[in-house]
Chains A and B, each alone.
Chain A
Amino acid sequence: MPLIRNGQPLADPWTMVADDAPLPAGAAIVSLARWLRDRDALLGRNQPIGIVLPPDQAVDELGPDLDRLGVVALEFRSFRDGRAYSQARLLRERYGYTGEIRATGQVLRDQLLFMERCGIDSFVLPNDSAVTAWSEAIREISVWYQPAADRRTWVVAARHGASALDGCAPAG
């Protein structure tokens, strides 16, 4: 499935590794459970490591290890399940996480903009046509009434000082 990051399609440098599979060479994404179990061994490989954070796990679980993680993959098990939006904002805004936050699962065109605003910067999309749709979807709305994890200026700030809508352009 195609991956885009910061608006650009790219070959996925990461391999998703099942809990019972051996670790491949190079960058690997493992489950939170495997990370919690084999943390030291995984760090000892000196290879990039990422984890999948399930929607029912608190972001605090990752706590002090966050800066060692190259990617945190969030799960949209259904497009209706909005927990990952909060997880993404907490990762960016509370914990200052600067690595990749990846949306996996049911990632729909019409939700990309919300995901992106919450700080998700890479998206596993269902097919190639979704990649074109991404660049359209991300430009559909340019006015935002609330600050979030992206750099867009919110309307209240724009009304009272910030240089008009400068920051309201999409980051991607």
Chain B
Amino acid sequence: MYRYDEFDHRLVAERVQQFRGQVGRRLSGELSEEEFRPLRLMNGLYLQLHAYMLRIAIPYGTLSARQLRMLATIARRYDKGYGHFTTRQNLQFNWVKLAEVPDLLADLARVEMHAMQTSGNCIRNVTADHLAGVAADEIEDSRIWAEIIRQWSTLHPEFSFLPRKFKVAVTGSPRDRAAIAVHDIGIRVVRNGAGEVGFAILVGGGQGRTPVIGTWIRDFLPRAELLNYLEAILRVYNLLGRRDNLYKARIKILVNAVGADAFRAMVEAEWATIRGGALALPEAEIARIRAYFAPPAYRALPTVDLASAVRDARDPAFAAWARTNVHPHKVAGYAAVTVSLKPHGGVPGDMTAEQMDALADLAERFSFGEIRATHEQNLVLADVEQAALPDLWRALGAAGLATANAGLLTDIICCPGLDYCNLANARSIPISQRIGQRFDDLARLHDIGPLKIKISGCINACGHHHVGHIGILGVEKHGAEAYQVSLGGSGDENAALGEIVGPSFSADAVVDAVETIVATYVGTRTADETFLDTYRRVGLKPFKEALYAAH
């Protein structure tokens, strides 16, 4: 993984000092809360319902064991002993004290981490495929490019006061595990007819109150031009994006207003004036960054057929876990493992300091000391020897990290909602907990098969409900919490937005509604159909009828 050089170290150290000064000016009263607000937001510090929340950047989700241990230390030292992994591969601490934040950031800097640009109207932490480097279908490791973009976007003097926040995601594979279609800019590594590696560029995707699947504006961008092209897109957006209405300020609104063709023409014209200029990436820099993502020292192992090995496993609990939480790896004899942060009845994405320490040890023992955070609020050990899977499974189980539900109904994405967030209409965590309790039977979960439930506490859609196979959105109805349900959304390479089934459900009724939807699917599916397959075949109608039959 990437390691800081002297420049990276110096920048982060200076940024910590700068923020220490800003906090000092706030504490002395030199800055009012109103003046301090944009400064703290530039550094990921929010004021929530009950306390300050600090969002820490985990660039493209990659963590070393040493970094995870530091996060455990921070959880103990500055918070209540746990942290929360978000849907953008970041980590949030929900109970920090303002006066202690500079020290916390200094501790983070010691392990090459920071909280820069995890909020504010700037280019946010760049996300990537959590199976980068190990997926068999990959053209190139997306983290190389995500790291290059991370550096370029850090403290960018021109683009730190954009009309609105700006999110970039990169995938190195045709299969999209990074949900690039719902990002302000989505980047896919591609190969052109001549065999050269470059990028296809998509703009204007997003969630929030106006969900949009992005539009491709370039089929092939030579890789040396990546940053010039991004700069062209950002400049057009910075100058022309709306600033009069918070809800119309994202780039998707601009692209829609001027039309994709006109937007593309403006970007291309801007690019033409800076193409080949100072920001063109030297091959030497690409090579320097790429070297950090070279494969680890894999052992030569015999090929094992993962599926049959799992079938033959004697312990059915292990087999169940292996079926959902173990994924193929491009190197013979290895596998990637999802570490579920979704225990039934728990808070999706939460992890205690003890679990962080335990997983850091396991990463060192089993997976070259590296951990990945996914946008689905789980963690991944990407390089595990298949023969070691049973040992790893037992050790994960001892730490409460072996729930066999990756990709299944209880692997719920869920925003913090009204338990923490001052924008929320409704609580989202208790809904996910109750769904987890209701569907606690593993055999049944496995029978239902792949099904993504995503829950947001308000229209800002931090829980990605628009792209949930079942999406649940907290709304307010007659002063009470209520939940609108949508079906058929998807965030992958066949991205689609969910359709709303009808009137909203009360907090009590929404878990039953999920039950009804599942029963309808199970009763309608043909042999191998997943929930999404069935939904795409039969449409909304049967679900709607079942849900509202009694009314």
Q: List residues of chain A with CB under 8 Å of any chain B CB.
A: 58, 79-83, 85-87, 89, 94, 108, 110-111, 113-115, 117-118, 140-148, 154-156, 158-160, 165
Determine if A85 and B152 form an interchain contact, defined as CB atoms under 8 angstroms apart.
no
Min CB gap B546→A, angstroms: 48
Contact of B288 among A58, A145, A148, A159 (CB under 8 A): A159
A167 vs B35: C-alpha distance in the bound complex, in angstroms?
A: 32
Task: Pull 22 A–B residue pairs with CB atoms less than 8 Å apart, ordered by A.
Answer: A80-B38, A82-B238, A85-B159, A89-B158, A94-B273, A110-B22, A111-B160, A113-B157, A140-B18, A141-B15, A141-B18, A144-B157, A145-B153, A145-B156, A146-B279, A148-B158, A154-B278, A155-B7, A159-B284, A159-B288, A160-B284, A160-B288
Contact of B14 among A94, A111, A141, A165 (CB under 8 A): A141
Determine if A86 and B239 form an interchain contact, defined as CB atoms under 8 angstroms apart.
yes
Determine if A114 and B157 form an interchain contact, defined as CB atoms under 8 angstroms apart.
yes
Q: Residue B275 at the A interface, CB < 8 A? A: no
B residues less than 8 Å from A85 (CB atoms) = 157-161, 238
Determine if B282 and A160 form an interchain contact, defined as CB atoms under 8 angstroms apart.
yes
Min CB gap B148→A, angstroms: 9
A residues less than 8 Å from B17 (CB atoms) = 140
Determine if A156 and B285 form an interchain contact, defined as CB atoms under 8 angstroms apart.
yes
Determine if A145 and B155 form an interchain contact, defined as CB atoms under 8 angstroms apart.
yes
Q: Report if A142-B14 is in contact (Cβ < 8 Å); known contacts: A86-B235, A147-B279, A159-B285.
A: yes
Contact of A82 among B10, B21, B162, B282 (CB under 8 A): B162
Determine if A81 and B243 form an interchain contact, defined as CB atoms under 8 angstroms apart.
yes
A residues less than 8 Å from B159 (CB atoms) = 82, 85
A residues less than 8 Å from B285 (CB atoms) = 156, 159-160
Min CB gap B274→A, angstroms: 8
A155 vs B155: C-alpha distance in the bound complex, in angstroms?
A: 13
Determine if B158 and A143 form an interchain contact, defined as CB atoms under 8 angstroms apart.
no
A residues less than 8 Å from B157 (CB atoms) = 85, 113-115, 117-118, 144, 146, 148
Q: List residues of chain B with CB under 8 Å of any chain A CB.
A: 5, 7-8, 10-11, 14-15, 17-18, 21-22, 35, 38-39, 121, 151-163, 227, 235, 238-239, 243, 273, 278-279, 281-282, 284-285, 288
Min CB gap A76→B, angstroms: 9
A118 vs B21: C-alpha distance in the bound complex, in angstroms?
A: 24
A114 vs B18: C-alpha distance in the bound complex, in angstroms?
A: 14
A133 vs B239: C-alpha distance in the bound complex, in angstroms?
A: 29
B contacts with A: majority SS? helix
A146 vs B149: C-alpha distance in the bound complex, in angstroms?
A: 11
Min CB gap A55→B, angstroms: 8
B residues less than 8 Å from A156 (CB atoms) = 281-282, 285
Q: Report if A118-B151 is in contact (Cβ < 8 Å); known contacts: A80-B121, A86-B239, A156-B282.
A: no
Min CB gap B152→A, angstroms: 5
Contact of B158 among A86, A141, A145 (CB under 8 A): A86
A159 vs B281: C-alpha distance in the bound complex, in angstroms?
A: 12
Q: Report if A82-B160 is in contact (Cβ < 8 Å); known contacts: A156-B281, A158-B7.
A: yes
Additional pairs, 16, CB under 8 Å, beyond known A114-B161, A141-B11: A79-B38, A80-B38, A82-B159, A82-B162, A83-B238, A117-B157, A140-B17, A141-B155, A143-B10, A143-B14, A145-B11, A145-B154, A146-B156, A147-B279, A148-B158, A156-B282
Q: Report if A155-B162 is in contact (Cβ < 8 Å); known contacts: A79-B38, A141-B18, A146-B156.
A: no
A83 vs B11: C-alpha distance in the bound complex, in angstroms?
A: 25
A contacts with B: majority SS? loop
Closest Cβ neighbor of B42 among chain A residues = A110
A133 vs B60: C-alpha distance in the bound complex, in angstroms?
A: 36
B residues less than 8 Å from A118 (CB atoms) = 157-158
B residues less than 8 Å from A108 (CB atoms) = 35
Min CB gap B65→A, angstroms: 27
B residues less than 8 Å from A113 (CB atoms) = 157
B residues less than 8 Å from A160 (CB atoms) = 282, 284-285, 288
By CB atoms of chain A within 10 A, which of B22, B161, B273, B282 has the most? B161
A82 vs B42: C-alpha distance in the bound complex, in angstroms?
A: 14
By CB atoms of chain B within 10 A, which of A58, A143, A159 has the most? A143
By CB atoms of chain B within 10 A, which of A86, A145, A154, A158 has the most? A145
B residues less than 8 Å from A158 (CB atoms) = 7
A83 vs B288: C-alpha distance in the bound complex, in angstroms?
A: 34
A residues less than 8 Å from B227 (CB atoms) = 146
A127 vs B543: C-alpha distance in the bound complex, in angstroms?
A: 65
Closest Cβ neighbor of A85 among chain B residues = B158
A residues less than 8 Å from B281 (CB atoms) = 156
A85 vs B231: C-alpha distance in the bound complex, in angstroms?
A: 13
| 10 A-B pairs with the lowest CB-CB distances in the bound complex, closest first | A82-B161, A117-B157, A147-B278, A143-B11, A114-B157, A145-B151, A140-B18, A85-B158, A155-B7, A160-B284
Min CB gap A93→B, angstroms: 8
A41 vs B140: C-alpha distance in the bound complex, in angstroms?
A: 61
By CB atoms of chain A within 10 A, which of B153, B156, B158 has the most? B158
A21 vs B360: C-alpha distance in the bound complex, in angstroms?
A: 70
A146 vs B153: C-alpha distance in the bound complex, in angstroms?
A: 8
A148 vs B279: C-alpha distance in the bound complex, in angstroms?
A: 9
Contact of B161 among A81, A87, A143, A146 (CB under 8 A): A81
Closest Cβ neighbor of B150 among chain A residues = A145
A residues less than 8 Å from B38 (CB atoms) = 79-80
A residues less than 8 Å from B15 (CB atoms) = 141
A89 vs B159: C-alpha distance in the bound complex, in angstroms?
A: 11
A20 vs B279: C-alpha distance in the bound complex, in angstroms?
A: 44
Min CB gap B5→A, angstroms: 7
A141 vs B42: C-alpha distance in the bound complex, in angstroms?
A: 15
A90 vs B7: C-alpha distance in the bound complex, in angstroms?
A: 27
